[in-house]
Structure 1
Amino acid sequence: MNKIYFTADLHFGHSNILKHSPKRPFSDTVDIVAHDEWLLDLWKSTVDKRDTVYILGDLIFLKSENARHLLEKLPGQKFLIEGNHDGSIRAYKNYFKEVYQIKEMRFKPSVAPFLKEDLCVVMCHYPMVTWNQKPRGSIMLHGHSHGKLDDYNALSMDLRFDVGIDGSLANLRFLTLEDIYNAATEKIKQYDCNTFAEYAQNNYRSEVR
């Protein structure tokens, strides 16, 4: 079965990111060339050409020819949700199936048999406090924060998860749809809920629908 992946904040070619992401390989030497080779190897060893990848922003910091050369090497059906550092990437839209600001998806058990119910997600580079269908059990996926909101997300009642590579959930890897589902399921079970809709009805009653 083809897999569905989520990632964010890879920052290919951005040497400054290594100063702020101490968990990443080569952050101690600020070797962006070695860092990018590690990222590329991670992508290629994880993603098959038939897989789908949702990239929640901040993908590449490279000049035009280098950016094209890199994008040609990245397997998978790529969907980009733009981040604050993706302005120049619009010149390479043909390397993506689609480019969005915000993307909503409904994943069904018929496509992903491990699902016990439909999984509705809202994807945006930026973390959101409220989002479409939240009171009905929709899940919010974001990047941008590089793991700095992990504790906040964990303590919050919201079903919101940082899929960025620096976050504790991803922990320097790509997340699968099953990873997302398992993380959300684990959270609602802490409150003795069996479905995302039940959890939302119990905890988001005051929110606008």
Structure 2
Amino acid sequence: MIYFTADTHFFHTELLGNNDFAPRPFKNVAEMNATVVANWNRRVKAGDQVYLLGDIAMVPNKPRAFAEVAGVLAQLNGQLIIIKGNHDSRAFLKYLAKNDGGLANGKPHYQFADVGALIKINHHQFFLTHYPLLLGKVQQTFNLHGHIHHYMLPIAENINVGIDAPERELLPTTLPFGTPLAASEIERIFERKQATLAKHSRD
């Protein structure tokens, strides 16, 4: 299976609390980190892939801090395909590549797609980026992104897959915080978002 997520922001103390920008109602970053890891692993299995669309963590640009983040990422099931976010330094990504412990199946735990990737699933194209793109008029094409946290672009094809994204509220069942999204859920979000935007335009 393939999953999508963004903006995990491990160790980011300033985001804690019930704020409008990035609501994270946890007492401390240890609780937040553990919650994301647990909910991630309830869904993602060892042989799955997860596209992590940037902003992995917020730590000092130092090897000791990188090691702390790597310790959390090592607990996550699946292969992580990482697209660089604005809070992900190249030094950090190089650290992960150099210290990749690998998976039980012999594959690397991390792959890197730098600024973006394009994949096809169920006759849809997925442009995967950290920053949202303005694609113009498209058919069967989605831009999955992060970066804007609890904010939703008024374009149905732009779907924020961040762990604190408002698009998650369009799903019929609330996902536990930190759960990566499946392609079927992306399609469901698109349908609900498209219908909601069409209704607003008529009102």
Query: TM-score surpassing 0.5?
Result: yes
Aligned partners of 1:22, 1:85: CA distance in 2, in Å?
Answer: 15
Aligned partners of 1:160, 1:49: CA distance in 2, in Å?
Answer: 29
Aligned pair partner of 1:126 in 112, 123, 131: 131
Q: Is the 8 A contact 1:60 1:89 kept in 2?
A: no
Q: Which residue of structure 1 aligns with residue 24 of structure 2? A: 24
Deviation of 1:89 (Å): 2.6
Q: Which residue of structure 1 aligns with residue 9 of structure 2? A: 11
TM-score scaled to structure 2, two decimals?
A: 0.74
Structure 1 residue 140 and structure 2 residue 143: aligned? yes
Aligned partners of 1:191, 1:129: CA distance in 2, in Å?
Answer: 17
Q: Secondary structure at the match of 2:127?
A: strand
Partner amino acid, structure 2, of 1:120: Q
Structure 1 residue 166 and structure 2 residue 169: aligned? no
Aligned partners of 2:197, 2:37: CA distance in 1, in Å?
Answer: 39
Alignment gaps of 5+ in structure 1: 109-117, 193-209
Deviation of 1:85 (Å): 0.6
**Percent identity at matched positions?**
27
Alignment gaps of 5+ in structure 2: 60-64, 101-108, 170-176, 199-203
Deviation of 1:135 (Å): 3.0
Partner amino acid, structure 2, of 1:47: V
Equivalenced residues, count: 171
Q: Which residue of structure 2 aligns with residue 196 of structure 1? A: none
TM-score scaled to structure 1, two decimals?
A: 0.72
Deviation of 1:167 (Å): 0.9
Q: Is the 8 A contact 1:119 1:181 kept in 2?
A: no
Question: Is the alpha carbon distance of 1:191 and 1:144 closer, same or farther for their aligned partners in structure 2, counting shifts above 3 Å?
Answer: closer
Q: What whole-Å deviation, never above 9, does each CA across 1:35-87 have from its counterpart, x for those lacking one?
A: 11111111222211111101111112341221222222111011111100111
Partner amino acid, structure 1, of 2:96: Y
Aligned partners of 2:83, 2:22: CA distance in 1, in Å?
Answer: 25
Moved >6 Å (runs of 4+): 189-192
Q: Which residue of structure 2 aligns with residue 115 of structure 1? A: none
